[in-house]
Chain A
């Protein structure tokens, strides 16, 4: 085989190896497989949700209010006669957007601040560390409430509040992991190869702590959904009549005592399922991203 031939064969094997490894991880552990299936379902629902549902999620029908689950209304209807199944499905997109963007924001901000703190030490470390400590000094949910109350009731502000609340988790994790690797042989070797500090941070240290961060991201996704729902539940954040799991639970909470259990139960179960899915997903994703798990 010619030298060029070998090179091409090598490039091709990289991608297939990754896919094969991903398949192996997913099929090896049934729990991971289940979590991935659930995740796929969530993604599909978020994208196609509004075109799948049988009813308009905002359409009220006073003649059909508070109907229990039936063949016509799978999850029943609420006080205004809106179809709960349609509302739960349509709400997926909003909740997923809040979770994904807030996690992306906190990963970028907290992760980068953390590895910079761990790698440079000194003043960078002190500033990032004290910032994280300050945030952690507040009860986190109360802090999120305060941020949304102060900035205003919008989806953007829920995202910001969720990101701020999670900042210390990411910053501390990234700091600890970067700090261990600061004096590792491969970092010194990277310096000898002429890499600047910024390149070392982004291309040498960051990829190495990515598997750990990914697990953290997966866990925070579940937490972010809960946080958004919690804020909506107490009346901050998303406003009715927009369908959102937290609000729907809040709207149905009073009904549990008077017997209309379905109004709160189904959005609550969906919320639980989504959080559960993200928590299970973490380990599987880590196994896929970490090349050391490949044999």
Chain B
């Protein structure tokens, strides 16, 4: 076997032309991958990890160009190869798996035909045996009943199955290099485990080289041989994955590692500086229940999305609602939020029945300002045409009674300071802010009228881990100082454990287990909970 790396990148620099001159997205990086090896590139958004892979595939968009450096792929210098030859290489010798599997598949073409297309394009099959090869490929990625599924359209498959089809597409022509860009982001933990194991197995079996691009250090460490950490276009550390976890050398890696929630970590530990400031003064809480839900049902057609749920939240308590996609946790939160009408059951808020008020009329209900929500996607939940100030001011103007302009502005600035948003950013539009800043605007809007109950719908799912660490701490401080209760909806068990007193696990519209956070996570009684906990990627120890 040759000792030559399959892919060898030296001094790669990628620049993007913008209105204000060239911007370096990737700055003089080196990397190499051997056959049968998996390299993980880890970094937060804007670190240049995706751009690196686009440069290797030569699929940078028009504004970007490889300014310097060499990319050698099994002896060929890719940076100077003509586009026509690159087209032959892509798909046949090197292929890519993207983040959103549904977007990567043609929605109006049968999945089997899509695999055939790739095979025929690269002359790996003829008209006569394309179908058989396509079915064999579906079988390889463990899609059950591949003959039937050949005729399925992407919308008929789950997210995890779609990603398997995308992997089948990528591997159909037996490429030597596979680049996976956040292949499991947006998939459930159990699905993530299955997809990653499949990828690793196929890579080893075919002696391919693979690059896994991810923001999740835990995932990279669990499945890669070597991990490379990138920050602001530069490689800060590169080491075997076991070493990077046990002995990180670069301060950035240490910070990233610390911000990643793991078993046994405490909320305050996630942020680097050892918090000299004392915890905020707590607002006294009178005991009692703020929310009491009984027999809640939501029916869609013949299916019960939520099937008779009982739950309650005490004043000043954080309750985690955990489950995989489709378990009904979002539907439940939307009904409690009164954005959706329940089919049956009662929702009592502060002793008053609010489940019977139609969702359409609830906007003007006096209880409206006491139940608020922080949405999952900070970008989607902010009006693109509203400045941060207008977004925060909106609930105050609608429900806070009459308020003078300067008082309103002062209140917005006070809220911004409270959530740690620099006051000068209040004039910005959402697209001019970072993900963390947008999340803060969303939180400021939710707490603007001092609500009693805030539903947090995966508030950190779209954020980088270091930002997530800060936002989680912020939420915890706000809860104590404002005396709020939280219903925290999430799929991430580690995050739930950090913030919540009690945890409720849902599956298929029903509650399978509930108890205190330690109890559920340390000694789960339901088999499903155990499965969920086991699927979270564990780094090698």
Contact = CB atoms under 8 A, between A and B. Distances in A.
Given A3-B413, A6-B423, A291-B385, A192 B337 contact: yes
A13 interface: yes
B431 A291 contact: yes
A185 B381 CA distance: 4
B142 interface: no
Contacts of A295: 18-19
Chain A CB count within 10 A is highest, among B362, B369, B395, for B395
Interface residues of B, number: 41
A193 B427 contact: no
A195 B375 contact: no
Contact of A193 (B375, B406, B445): B445
Contact of B429 (A6, A191, A292): A292
Contacts of B380: 184-186
Interface in A7-52: 7, 10, 13-14
B423 A186 contact: no
Given A189-B382, A192-B372, A195-B394, A10 B426 contact: yes
Contacts of B18: 295
Interface string A188-221: 1111111111010000100110000000000000
B345 to A, nearest CB: 21
B384 A208 contact: yes
A258 B391 CA distance: 67
Nearest to B339: A188
B384 A291 contact: yes
A24 to B, nearest CB: 8
B413 to A, nearest CB: 6
Contact of A208 (B337, B383, B391, B399): B383
Contacts of B395: 192-194
B427 A192 contact: no
B104 interface: no
Contacts of A204: 383
A191 B426 contact: no
B364 A188 contact: no
Interface string A168-194: 000000000000000011101111111
A3 B417 CA distance: 12
B363 A195 contact: yes
A8 to B, nearest CB: 10
Contact of B360 (A10, A186, A197): A197
Nearest to B385: A207
B369 A194 contact: yes
Contact of A10 (B372, B385, B424, B431): B424
Interface of A: 3-4, 6-7, 10, 13-14, 184-186, 188-197, 199, 204, 207-208, 291-292, 294-295
Given A186-B386, A191-B339, A208-B385, 16 more contacts: A3-B413, A6-B424, A185-B380, A185-B382, A186-B380, A186-B383, A189-B383, A189-B391, A192-B339, A194-B363, A194-B364, A291-B385, A291-B429, A291-B431, A292-B429, A294-B429
